[in-house]
Amino acid sequence: MYDLKKGYEVAKEYYAQYGIDVDQMMERCDQTPLSMHCWQGDDVRGLEKREGGLNGGIQTTGDYPGAARNAEELRADIEKAMQFIPGVLKVNLHASYQEADTFVDRNAIKPEHFANWADWAVEKGLGLDFNPTYFSHPKSENGTLSAADEEVRKFWIEHGIACRRIGEYFYKRTGKPCVINHWTPDGDKEFPIDTLGPRLRLKDSYDRIFEATKDVEGVIDGIESKVFGIGMESFTAGSHEFCMGYVMSKGIDHIIMTLDTGHYHPTEVVSAKLGAIFAFSKAVLLHVSRPVRWDSDHVVAFDDETKAIMEELVRLGKLDSTYIATDFFDASINRIAAWVIGLRNTRKALLQALLQPVDMMKKAEADGDVSGRLAIAQEFKAAPFSLVWDYYCDKQNKGVGLDWLEDVRAYEKDVLLKR
């Protein structure tokens, strides 16, 4: 290992030339919560005591050994990954990760079915976020909250209501707000003749869920849009226009938009949407993912778009108004490695974004110095960032560079391969 302290001192001096306080930014980065999704650990299978695979237009591909088979294994795997992920973390659960003794259907889930998760989170000092599971269920085949069948729609409204109550329970147990993400896969393989009816039903369902749970405290609700799902290529009820319209028309602080980086047309980017949304909304929920040609949910990379999103949040001064969650599921590699790589990359992009000379660039812009603005922004792309990142990881005792890899390999040998 090279001299981390020396590297950090050099970087600190480099950034100081541009008025950037590295220590302050490391602290800022560290205190920004990232919500780590539980579903990377078992390929979105969940813990319900019933048969049936993943559906709803999303897919995991690959059959790497060692997926978690029960709650204990999943929690152990999350803890293992967390050993190498710096900064404040929350854990993001889906309703399908209930731990009832016998089968309990989605509309009947209660806080008690999530008590083990809450106990564990309290013990570890973690916040919990939540997601209704409007997919992978026999009743989700012909729509959920937008279903034409009123019995089916009622079932899913009850699920949404149950989930908001569980969110409040998490808030009360952990003392930290629970961010709930509502995503429905509802759509059609072909373009429907009636494209308005499903939207009006979806709108009415959300209204009923929120109306019935008006008393719920400590919960923030993201409404997640999507462009298409596998098998539902032509129509999505919860499209971007629908979700944005819904959130904006409600004008209620706890109802916000969820932007998933894989849910747009290939040349559309989330980083370019944030400035417009913040003109109307106080907060936003992000699902950081990596689409490769489609909404493939590859592990988050330290790529241009992830960096651009974080840069934009810092430039807008909206880091504190943004809930950052990860959402990917790769079954073709070691699942702990997937978490470590994806969450570290998300945090890394955030730290790099905090180390940009925002004031300097803003001043150039205000002065009409467009050449200077471009020059400064470009210069910073090659700043000695990794020296700060390594030092930060070491300071947090989360492993420098590839330190984590050997450990994760040993865990694979000793634990995962024995499953």
Known binding residues for Mn(2+): 263, 295, 297
Q: Which does 58 bind (CB under 5 to 8 A by kind): Zn ion, ligand RNT, none?
A: ligand RNT
Q: Which of 94, 226, 348, 398 is catalytic?
A: 226
| Nearest residue (CB) to ligand RNT, 32 versus 59 | 59
Quote the least distance from Cβ 287 to Zn ion, whole Å: 4
Q: Assess 287 for contact with Zn ion (CB under 5 A).
A: yes
Quote the least distance from Cβ 224 to Zn ion, whole Å: 6
Q: Which of 43, 48, 129, 295 is catalytic?
A: 295
Place of tokens 């100081």: 16
The answer to whether 388 and 355 are in contact (CB under 8 A) is: yes
3-state SS of the chain is: CCCHHHHHHHHHHHHHCCCCCHHHHHHHHHHCCEEEEHHHHCCCCCCCCCCCCCCCCCCCCCCCCCCCCCHHHHHHHHHHHHCCCCCCEEEEEEHHHCCCCCCCCHHHCCHHHHHHHHHHHHHHCCEEEEECCCCCCHHHCCCCCCCCCHHHHHHHHHHHHHHHHHHHHHHHHHCCCEEEEECCCCEECCCCCCCCHHHHHHHHHHHHHHHHCCCCCCEEEEEECCCCECCECCEECCCHHHHHHHHHHHCCCCEEEEEECCCCCCCCCHHHCHHHHCCCCCCEEEEECEEECEEEEECCCCCHHHHHHHHHHHHHCCHHHEEEEECCCCCCCCHHHHHHHHHHHHHHHHHHHHCCCHHHHHHHHHCCCHHHHHHHHHHHHHCCHHHHHHHHHHHCCCCCCCHHHHHHHHHHHHCHHHC
| Nearest residue (CB) to ligand RNT, 136 versus 334 | 136
Alpha-carbon gap, residue 401 to 405, rounded angstroms: 9
Please list the residues that pair with 235 across neighbouring strands. 188
Catalytic, 119? Answer no
Quote the least distance from Cβ 278 to ligand RNT, whole Å: 21
The answer to whether 345 and 386 are in contact (CB under 8 A) is: no
Q: Specify binding-site residues.
A: 263, 295, 297
Footprint on this chain of ligand RNT (rule: CB under 6 A): 39, 44, 58, 131, 183, 224, 226, 260, 287, 295, 327
Q: Which does 158 bind (CB under 5 to 8 A by kind): ligand RNT, Zn ion, none?
A: none
Among 48, 168, 327, 412, binds Zn ion (CB under 5 A): 327
Quote the least distance from Cβ 263 to ligand RNT, whole Å: 6
The window from 20-28, 76-84, 185-193, 287-295 that contacts Zn ion (CB under 5 A) reads 287-295
| Nearest residue (CB) to Zn ion, 160 versus 399 | 160
Q: Which of 42, 168, 297, 390 is catalytic?
A: 297
Catalytic, 207? Answer no
| Nearest residue (CB) to ligand RNT, 136 versus 213 | 136
Catalytic, 224? Answer yes
Q: Which does 44 bind (CB under 5 to 8 A by kind): Zn ion, ligand RNT, none?
A: ligand RNT
The answer to whether 327 and 44 are in contact (CB under 8 A) is: no
Quote the least distance from Cβ 258 to Zn ion, whole Å: 7
Catalytic, 287? Answer yes
Catalytic, 297? Answer yes
Place of tokens 């999505």: 236
Q: Which does 373 bind (CB under 5 to 8 A by kind): Zn ion, ligand RNT, none?
A: none
Catalytic, 268? Answer no
Among 260, 295, 394, 412, binds Zn ion (CB under 5 A): 260
Provide the CB-side half-sphere exposure for 248 (13 A, CA).
11
Burial tier of 343 (Cβ tally within 10 Å: 0-12, 13-18, 19+): buried
| Nearest residue (CB) to Zn ion, 129 versus 327 | 327
Q: Which of 224, 305, 311, 330 is catalytic?
A: 224
Q: Assess 240 for contact with Zn ion (CB under 5 A).
A: no
Q: Which does 311 bind (CB under 5 to 8 A by kind): Zn ion, ligand RNT, none?
A: none
Q: How many chain residues interact with Zn ion (CB under 5 A)?
A: 3
Q: Which of 168, 186, 312, 327 is catalytic?
A: 327
Q: Which does 322 bind (CB under 5 to 8 A by kind): Zn ion, ligand RNT, none?
A: none
End-to-end CA distance of the chain: 34
Q: Which of 287, 298, 307, 398 is catalytic?
A: 287
Catalytic, 304? Answer no
| Nearest residue (CB) to ligand RNT, 60 versus 281 | 60
| Nearest residue (CB) to ligand RNT, 303 versus 379 | 303
Residues assigned a catalytic role? 183, 224, 226, 260, 263, 287, 295, 297, 327
Q: Which residues bind Zn ion (CB under 5 A)?
A: 260, 287, 327
